[in-house]
Structure 1
Amino acid sequence: IDLGAGVSGLTTAIMLLRNGHKNVVVVGKHIPGDMSHEYTSPWAGASVLSFATSTDKRLQAIDRYTLKEFKRLANEDFSAGVMYCPGLQYNDLPDMPGQDSLWVRDHYAEFKEIPKDLLPEGTAFGFRFVSFTTSVPTYLAWLVRTLESLGGRLERGSFESLQEVMEKYKDADTLINCTAMGARDLKDVLDDNMYTLRGQTVLVRAPHVKQQFYRDGDGYFTYIIPRADGNVICGGTMDLVNKDPKPDAELTKTILKNCCNLYPDITHGKGPEAFDIVSVNVGFRPGRKGGIRIE
């Protein structure tokens, strides 16, 4: 039994099936197609990036495998919603995490550091790279199809503890917890290292955008993530305090202004008033003190 039906839970179940396990069931309070703010996955951008530090060899290994798998999807299965996408990253602080080591030099294709004299004013460091982006709702649907094609099942269910799951699925010999923020509330887990990060984004129509852009600084970051369907995610925020699921109109204006400053051609040089807005979104990313928990 795989508890949690987001990207992590569905992917874990697929990997189990590919490695010979039988009768794999994914069960979640929310499943693909739902747009609850409790369900993180459908609100993601999303780009395949690494946040591993120079000393985190385990996360580096995970990221290498992930990049390899997304490369396969981009080459072999367009229905997954994954595409190759060149990227441009600017960091405004000289000591941002991971920047000193740049183990990603060997991780990303076509990595190239930008000479300092070509950086925008106020930027300490920048590089170009090639990675992958995906439309996550499309990717979630692909994960469900893949799960079912391999003989797995997806079920809806809400539980207050892992023990309650095992009592319902008495024949299961393994239970994997992929509940993300749910790990904070399950009575026999109560992981108080979990916390939420509010993210607000704007989905716009901009099929001419074929490159992803990022600019990070002290307490702020701006990003532009194109999708294969011609839509683009503009962001963003990472707010530890605000728990409001409703979009902030002023923040929307700030996001669009920042994205225009980062890449003026996103509106063909016509400014933030020229955006073709599809939707304004709020999602809550799961964070964890001490990093990802894999046991």
Structure 2
Amino acid sequence: MPKVVILGAGVIGLTTAIVLRKNGFDDITIVGKYLPGDDLTHEFTSPWAGASIVSFAFENKLLQDIDLISFQEFERQVKEAPEAGVMHCPGVHYSEIEDPAAEAWAHKLYTNTTSIPKDQLPKGVVFGYKFQSFTMSAPRYLSWLVANVQKLGIAIERGTFEALSQVADHYDGADIVINCTGLGSLFLTDVQDKTVNAIRGQTVLVNAPHIKTQMYREGPDVYTYIIPRPDGNVIVGGTLDYVNKSTVADPAITRDILKRVYELNPELTHGKGPDAFNVVSQNVGFRPGRKDSVRIEKQVRDNHGKKLTVVHNYGHGAHGYQSCWGSAVKVLELLNDGVQLKAKL
């Protein structure tokens, strides 16, 4: 049985390990510079995520396949694994941009999806729909994944490497290295993917336990969202900034976010205005984006005369959580020579 090392201990690395272990790979080690439960750092993306389970696949067949698998798994978790903290959550999506493909995909993917009549749309919105999906708390979900990793006998260790070949050398006998490093793929010396970019996202965590509906308003230059969590807190946002690399929350951006989300749903503060929020924290995270979308690719390399199989699984941008289980299945299929499988999740 091959020895597998997964580089990266975020949501992508953890779920990849779980899927491989449940489908016949017995010798797996996860290694990461940062591990879930560490103090927050902007070099480790997963704990910062809003973790809304909505799809950005639209016309991308690979992402559609991935998201369909993930959504089925989240449905199972709601029913069978309440400790994960995934919950059903109704949603409303407004768009200021005509996008028939996005609307068609929503009707295919989500449950209870209904179009909103044009005369009921807010000013400036060209189409909208109601749907049902899921939400979660990212830190709680990561803790649950780690518990599953440990239960399955998967090793999880701390380590820093400059190259995938270095990982294979350190873990003597490693046959397979899986690259789940996200933004780290820009810096690994034998990857150096220059199409990877850090997309700054600023959000605000507010306490609003009465909010039970996720809401989104998409425009040409802005994406506004309200994501309830199971604990009564709500993530509101946000920004998609490819230029600003500051790790400090900008008070002006926070004010703009609170103004926008209040306009989207005044019930957040019971109609008392954008200055009446119960703010828990202001957050800055960096999404691991990639110009050409997610990279799920298998390579066979020579490593000191020995065959080394490398599988890349990174570049998920803002859709890491909703894509994680499906991406893991695609990695499994690559390791099984591309054969499509009904994987155990």
**CA separation in 2, counterparts of 1:271 and 1:104?**
32
CA RMSD of aligned residues (A): 1.0
Quick one: which amino acid aligns to residue 80 of structure 1?
A
Which residue matches 2:58? Answer: 53
Cα shift readout 1:105-159 (whole Å, capped 9, x = no counterpart): 1210001110101000110110000000110000000000001101101111111
Quick one: which amino acid aligns to residue 155 of structure 2?
R
**CA separation in 2, counterparts of 1:232 and 1:110?**
23
Shift of 1:95: 4.0
- Normalising by structure 1, we get a TM-score of 0.97
Which residue, 23, 26, 29 being the options, matches 1:25?
29
Which residue matches 2:286? Answer: 284
Shift of 1:165: 0.6
Which residue matches 2:199? Answer: 197
Please say if residues 81 and 136 of structure 1, whose CA atoms lie closer than 8 Å, have aligned partners that are also in contact.
no
**CA separation in 2, counterparts of 1:208 and 1:179?**
37
Cα shift readout 1:230-253 (whole Å, capped 9, x = no counterpart): 110010000000000000001001
For the pair 1:8 / 2:33, whether they are aligned, the reply is: no
Structure 1: which 4+ aligned runs deviate by more than 3 Å? none
For the pair 1:118 / 2:111, whether they are aligned, the reply is: no
Percent identical residues? 53
Which residue, 47, 56, 72 being the options, matches 1:68?
72
SS of 2:31's partner is strand
**CA separation in 2, counterparts of 1:218 and 1:240?**
15
After superposition, residues 49-198 of structure 1 pair within 5 angstroms as 49-54=54-59, 56-95=60-99, 98-99=101-102, 102-198=104-200
SS of 1:274's partner is coil
Which residue matches 1:42? Answer: 47
Shift of 1:53: 2.4
Quick one: which amino acid aligns to residue 155 of structure 1?
E
Which residue, 224, 227, 244 being the options, matches 1:242?
244
**CA separation in 1, counterparts of 2:124 and 2:180?**
40
**CA separation in 1, counterparts of 2:177 and 2:128?**
43
**CA separation in 2, counterparts of 1:21 and 1:215?**
42
SS of 2:142's partner is helix
**CA separation in 2, counterparts of 1:76 and 1:255?**
36
Pairs aligned (count): 292
Quick one: which amino acid aligns to residue 43 of structure 2?
E
- Normalising by structure 2, we get a TM-score of 0.83
SS of 2:123's partner is coil
**CA separation in 1, counterparts of 2:291 and 2:223?**
21
**CA separation in 2, counterparts of 1:173 and 1:93?**
47
**CA separation in 2, counterparts of 1:22 and 1:28?**
19
Shift of 1:93: 1.6
**CA separation in 1, counterparts of 2:170 and 2:227?**
41
**CA separation in 2, counterparts of 1:144 and 1:8?**
12
Please say if residues 200 and 236 of structure 1, whose CA atoms lie closer than 8 Å, have aligned partners that are also in contact.
yes
